[in-house]
Amino acid sequence: MAADIAALIAAMEADDAAGTDGLAAAQERARQAADIMLGDVASWRVAAEGRTLAIPG
């Protein structure tokens, strides 16, 4: 996830340097960030659901 977010930040900086339309670019980058974060949560969920609970004692 960190690498994906770093790549997204680099793309945002490139958008700024290129003078890309601010609102449209921001909407697209926000969607991409949401997809990255939701993917990470989904991976965590799959990992957590696969574990059994150990009752202490």
Q: Any alpha helices (H) in the chain, and if so which ranges?
A: 2-18, 22-49
Q: CA angle 40-1-41, nearest 5°?
A: 10
Per residue in 12-51, pLDDT (tens digit) is: 888 878 777 778 888 888 999 999 999 999 988 988 888 8
Q: Would you tell me the crossing angle of helices 22-49 and 2-18 to the nearest 10 degrees?
A: 180
Encoded tokens for 57: 């004692």
User: Which pTM was predicted?
Assistant: 0.69
